[in-house]
Amino acid sequence: MLLSQVEAFLTIAERRSVSAAATVLYVTQPALTSRLKNLERELGIELFVRTPRGMRLTAEGRAFRPHAQRAVQSLAEGRERLRELREGRVGELLVGAAPAISTYVLPLVLRRFQESFPNVHLIVRTGHSEEVLELVLREQVQIGLVRELPHPAVTSVPLYEDEIVLVVHPGHRFAGDETIVVRELAAERLILFDRTSSYFVLTSAFFREAGVVPRGVMELDNVDATKKMVEHGLGIAFLPYTAVRDELAEGSLREVAIDGYDPVRRPIVALRRRDAVVPEDLVDGLLAAVRRDELER
């Protein structure tokens, strides 16, 4: 049974005329009559009887008509679904992201993304950059937003650079200074977070290379807890700018520059497997939202 045969049946039933139906379907009358006869032959019944007032459905034709209508409607919906998938208007996107990106960058980015792709199902998995890389390699996520991690099996698209900044309480002695000298840090209590993260490694390396040993160290397991400790005056911390930009804007934290030291900048990239098939429109839409967020910072 062909779709063209079913459409011929439904159009004749609606128009009650083979010639009128042929005009609607842009086919010749003989071609349309042939489609109808082939359908009747396959079904083993007559679907119409000819009357002076036109083509009239038989009892069998009336019984078959709603099923034919549902079949055509279902196929039309299927075609529309495929077009939406092809155009990126529906579908699913699996995203992996490092903790700071997932917490401080993705909320606004995903809100903008969903304004453009409201029917897309988003799944976000959070892990350290190395863990997200593994998710990409195992195709458990389609795109990973992480610090730069070279790997021969993935492609890397630069997104932005996240700056690591020194932040203090607004009442701290450094808060009124444009810059400080590195040796002044020796008298401070340093707050570190997540020993397994690259931020911990970068901060520890900075003090080691500067030859400075902080007066004391407090270790926490996440960025939010670290921010709260600094906000309560319990120490100072090096944190990603994306994690503290709201607090800096509100004045609950202050950024302090260190004389002679440029801020550490970490390239943030989008990773995907070289051989993976991904929904290109959705990925492009997500990356465009990330870049827009960066431009507005």
Q: What is the pLDDT of residues 28-78, one digit of tens each?
A: 999 989 999 999 999 999 999 988 888 999 999 999 999 999 998 988 877
Pair 142, 20 in one domain? no
Pair 179, 255 in one domain? yes
Q: How far apart (Å, rounded) are the C-alpha atoms in residues 60 and 64? A: 6
Pair 69, 188 in one domain? no
Pair 254, 274 in one domain? no
CATH code at position 102: 3.40.190.10
Q: How far apart (Å, rounded) are the C-alpha atoms in residues 188 and 271? A: 38
Given 87, 116, 137, the domain boundary residue is 87
Pair 171, 250 in one domain? yes
- Measuring CA to CA, which residue among 272, 275, 250 is closest to residue 132? 272
Res 116: pLDDT: 86
Task: Say how many CA atoms lie within 13 Å of 12 toward its Cβ.
Answer: 32
Pair 52, 63 in one domain? yes
In the chain, which residue ranges form alpha helices assigned H by DSSP?
3-15, 18-25, 29-43, 59-87, 99-104, 106-116, 129-137, 198-210, 223-231, 241-250, 280-295
Rounded-to-10 torsion of CA 215, 218, 219, 223: -110
Write down the pTM of the prediction: 0.67
Contacts of 89 (CB under 8 A, 6+ apart): 117, 119, 120
Res 120: pLDDT: 87
* Strand, helix or coil for residue 41: helix
- Measuring CA to CA, which residue among 148, 120, 117, 151 is closest to residue 134? 151
Res 88: pLDDT: 57
Res 89: pLDDT: 60
Pair 65, 15 in one domain? yes
Given 66, 87, 108, the domain boundary residue is 87
Contact 217, 200 (CB under 8 A): no
Pair 278, 136 in one domain? yes
Res 297: pLDDT: 60
Res 173: pLDDT: 93
Q: What is the pLDDT of residues 4-26, one digit of tens each?
A: 888 998 999 999 999 999 999 99
Regions of the chain where pLDDT drops below 50:
none
Given 72, 87, 102, the domain boundary residue is 87
CATH code at position 41: 1.10.10.10
Contact 184, 194 (CB under 8 A): no
- Measuring CA to CA, which residue among 260, 237, 235 is closest to residue 181? 260
- Residues 50-71 as b/e (b if ≥16 CB within 10 A, e otherwise) read eeeeebebeeebeebbeebeee
Res 107: pLDDT: 93
Pair 106, 189 in one domain? no
Q: What is the pLDDT of residues 221-233, one digit of tens each?
A: 888 999 999 999 9
Contact 237, 230 (CB under 8 A): yes
Total domain count, the chain: 3
Pair 66, 138 in one domain? no
Pair 79, 120 in one domain? no
Res 27: pLDDT: 92
Residue 139, token pair as written in the block: 């195709």
Pair 229, 278 in one domain? no
Residue range of the domain that includes 271: 90-160+267-295
